[in-house]
Amino acid sequence: MKPARRKRPPALTELEGSVLGMIGSRGPCTPYAIRRDFQESPSLYWSASAGAVYPLIGRLKKQGLIKVKRTTGDGRGGNLYVLTPAGERALRSWLGPPCPPTTISVPPDPLRNRVETFAMLSVKERAAFLGDAIRHVEAYLRDIQAYTERKKADGEEIDYLVGLGAYRMTQARLEWLREAARLLGLKVTEENDSSL
Amino acid sequence: MKPARRKRPPALTELEGSVLGMIGSRGPCTPYAIRRDFQESPSLYWSASAGAVYPLIGRLKKQGLIKVKRTTGDGRGGNLYVLTPAGERALRSWLGPPCPPTTISVPPDPLRNRVETFAMLSVKERAAFLGDAIRHVEAYLRDIQAYTERKKADGEEIDYLVGLGAYRMTQARLEWLREAARLLGLKVTEENDSSL
DNA sequence: ATGGCCATGTAAGATGTTACATGATTTA
DNA sequence: TAAATCATGTAACATCTTACATGGCCAT
């Protein structure tokens, strides 16, 4: 008689992996603490809305990847979750190595998507778009820099590293926008960045 | 009497904007041609599956943003779509300026998400992760470089620019991974890139 | 004690995915 | 002409978003 085939666990989504990673690396946390972590991050990609996080926690719990360690105790029924051994295995498998192609390939970029349409635009319109984008990214870069330096000053080495990743990516986008303006024969003011 | 309030058109999603942009900048195209464009791109972010593209085209058509210009003529009932004036307005509004914060803020990065969990990992595990990631990104960078140089050689200026954006972002991710390895006191082989 | 924020959820809807179905065209 | 591929779709499902509901805690 063949052994009962255990249903293979479906691969974790990016959001599930990130949440599992938070629980694993920050220790016991409530769903609300997880939401705050996402909201504090400089990326706007995930809203980490209640409607995303609470059901996700429920799924992970039902799959036995996390379990309640204890309650917050403040009458609001908050639960502190931790990884189960199965959860830690799932997390390590999501982490890799090996890195799957979707982890390696270039992330999506709304600015790049918009530059794709430049064939439709006049030189003037291109200049208007790039000028506006460059100004906004410059301001945003300073925000990320402050965020990253604060993490470093607080001695949070991993958070510093993560912030640095966001900073490097933003720097690259900004330099690309300036390069695009040059290649298209547009004038741009070359601001001197005080870089990390 | 108040004028009848026209229902405000909902903002375009990133995928809708990109598709509208393809139709606008490449001229009349079939849904299939749009899917091929996505599949040819080095990014794996959108599968541009049939189940995404065909219903999306249907929505844009129903909203009056695109219309059928003519059929392909080859018995397969393929339609060539073009922008309507309302479609061009919607596209320009999606493009900006001004760039909304979601367009400016740092794109999501699966590698960054994984580094967030480093607190859980031993030095050895971190080194294994970074080493694997660095090797894969190095190989991927060469692919993007070839893709970008081909576009340049073909004289496709806009596509070259877009490829360059993907290249710059990949370059930044690779340099960040190497920087991370150094900051964490790990040894990495410093390969000399022949860069664009 | 009450108005505002904290915290946990749920409901409805939009959008994307995988898998499948179907017929036309090209190629061996 | 048979098999492979091109091209257009549909169906079932998963996941995320916005908006709402509910009740506890806290400051005035």
The stretch B102-108 carries a mean pLDDT of: 97
Tokens representing A166 are: 């966001």
Q: Could you tell me what percent of chain B has a pLDDT over 90?
A: 82
Q: Which residue has the tokens 């080859």?
A: B74
In chain B, residues 2 through 41 whose Cβ sits under 7 angstroms from any atom of nucleic acid strand D = 30-33, 36
pLDDT of residue B8: 55
Q: Strand D closer than 7 Å to the CB of A7?
A: no
pLDDT of residue A194: 75
Instruction: With cut-offs at 50, 70 and 90, classify the pLDDT of residue B78.
Output: confident
pLDDT of residue A186: 87
Give the nearest partner residue to A118 out of B114, B158, B171, using CB atoms.
B158
Q: Please tell me whether residue A155 adopts helix, strand or coil conformation.
A: coil
Bigger pLDDT: A180 or B189?
A180
Instruction: With cut-offs at 50, 70 and 90, classify the pLDDT of residue A8.
Output: low
- HSE-CB for A12 with a 13 A CA cutoff: 29
Nucleotide nearest to B54 (CA to C1'): D9
C strand bases under 7 Å from protein CB: 6-12, 15-21, 23-26
Q: Which residue has the tokens 């590293």?
A: A161
> How confident is the model over A79-94, as pLDDT tens digits?
999 999 999 999 999 9
- Report how far apart, in Å, the C-alpha atoms of B35 and of each of A115, A193, B38, B46, B143 are: 19, 40, 5, 10, 21
Distance between the alpha carbon (CA) of A155 and the C1' atom of C17, Å: 41
Q: Which residue has the tokens 């945003």?
A: A140
User: In Å, how far is B108's CA from the nearest CA of chain A?
Assistant: 6
Bigger pLDDT: A25 or A189?
A25
pTM over 0.95? The answer is no
> How confident is the model over B140-196, as pLDDT tens digits?
999 999 999 999 999 999 999 999 999 999 999 999 999 999 999 888 776 767 788
Q: What is the CA radius of gyration of chain A?
A: 22
State the best of B122, B141, B168, B179 to mutate against chain A, taking most chain A CBs within 10 Å: B168
Using the predicted structure, report yes or no on whether residue A10 has a pLDDT greater than 80.
no
- Report how far apart, in Å, the C-alpha atoms of B162 and of each of A11, B1, B166 are: 31, 50, 7
Calpha distance A69→A60 (Å, rounded):
14
Asked if omega into B107 is within 30° of 0 (cis), the reply is no
What is the per-residue burial (b if ≥16 Cβ within 10 Å, else e) of A47-63? ebeeeebeebbeebbeb
